[in-house]
Amino acid sequence: MDRTVMWMQWNNLGMEQLHIENNQNGIIADSVVVGVKDGKPFRTRYQIDTDQDWQVRKLQIELLNAGGTGLTIHSDKEGQWWQNSEQPIPQLSGCLDVDLSATPFTNTLAIRRLALQPGDSCDLTVVYVAVPEMQVRAVPQRYTCLEINSQGGIYRYEALTRNFSVDLLVDRDGLVIEYPQTFRRIWSVEEPR
């Protein structure tokens, strides 16, 4: 997979350009997001590195606004996390996936890693990063596969602590096409190899 994808926020006050590439070491997703939250504009860049099975190894995220902050965390792919490869983060223990509030891409991580079949459901706890606040916490979620077809599928995403549920339309690579009332894909191209 070597693709570039763009999403727009449903309210038209934000946009993302993501490049995702699969190489011999795993998957690298590199993205820039611009948006408005609580009446304030923000710009952020993130990179997520996974292995071939979509297990997150590393998350780097930085705000590009003046005085912006950054965060780099690493995982052993068994639920243990470290900041800057040295400081353990015990409150994230047990998390395998990450979820960034400013992008639909992070739904792909759980969808691809879990490889659910229609009717299957899985509860998990993810490393949730609120953007642009850069607040990090463990959050319980649920994914349910509703449908798979040759073009992609439909997955129900549930945020268990806030009684939120939405059905995500995804393509054959698990990338979100439509996240109702939040994000919609506006462009996608597969790069020649």
pLDDT tens column, 105-129:
999 999 999 999 999 999 999 999 9
Report the distance separating Cα 70 and Cα 60, nearest Å.
Answer: 7
* Structural domains counted in the chain: 1
**Nearest 5°: phi and psi at 91?**
-70, -10
Position 11 confidence tier, pLDDT thresholds 50, 70, 90? confident
Predicted confidence (pLDDT) at residue 173 exceeds the cutoff of 80: yes
Give the residue numbers spanning the domain of 55. 2-190
Predicted confidence (pLDDT) at residue 143 exceeds the cutoff of 90: yes
pLDDT score recorded for residue 85: 66
Position 67 confidence tier, pLDDT thresholds 50, 70, 90? confident
**Whole-prediction pTM value?**
0.95
- The whole-chain average pLDDT of the chain stands at 95
* HEC assignment per residue over 108-172: HHHHHHHCCCCCCEEEEEEEEEECCCCEEEEEEEEEEEEEEECCEEEEEEEECCCCEEEEEEEEC
Predicted confidence (pLDDT) at residue 193 exceeds the cutoff of 70: no
pLDDT score recorded for residue 56: 98
Q: Which residues lie below 8 Å from residue 21, measured CB to CB, with a gap of 6+?
A: 1, 2, 3, 27, 28
